[in-house]
Structure 1
């Protein structure tokens, strides 16, 4: 398993993967000295994330290999179909997966998403439009949704 770290506007991102694909992307709550050497198997993931943060990328084209249960993987697959700049509620996501009663299990699987940003769990909100639960912190979820918003707030001064 190879590891790389990269600076993002939201903190240091840690990427993990191997020849079978990208296994994990997480944001750290601490600063690390960054190693300028990126393992070859992670170069494309680092490049695509940089493009995302620069506003040049809306979709990722990476081989993913997240570790989880079959149900978690179904939820993570469904998350990848939420378009850039859009949100869905946990209830809508549960309906998409065919079981409205599974809302808590869907929310739990969403919270276990190992591929920060790549699998866009930040695009899932409460039924009332509220920013609910986000492992990376609600301030990061808010930033990501604003970054992806098709309507950018203009400054008056």
Structure 2
């Protein structure tokens, strides 16, 4: 088993705590924990295990990393994304790895933006879509850098 879950969890927490604050742009931060949940759930065969891990890490993120203002929001989003990430088959993940995790980042940032910026959704849909798009692009950009530096594709697909 090459994908060392605890090692990558520790790296994700450190990156979220340090670099996300440094990389804040216009009040937006990349959601590195969402990336971790998506990428670590792909090799999991048990969808229930992936969903529970997503929920627990989401609760940890809400309480420790994201100041607890929207308690349960990360748990919901991480659980949904972990469920869908664990549903992928090996052949699909190998051929479409980047497309697959990017579509899950789009889903996760969309759900997060909907609940976090619901005021914009109901009052100014264009501003809501701009916020969602910016968070998605920013998280995806950081995700591409992380997946290339840590060679995540090889680690994840060797365990799938």
Q: TM-score, normalised by structure 1?
A: 0.28
Q: TM-score, normalised by structure 2?
A: 0.28
Higher strand content, 1 or 2: 1
Higher helix content, 1 or 2: 2
Max radius of gyration: which structure? 1
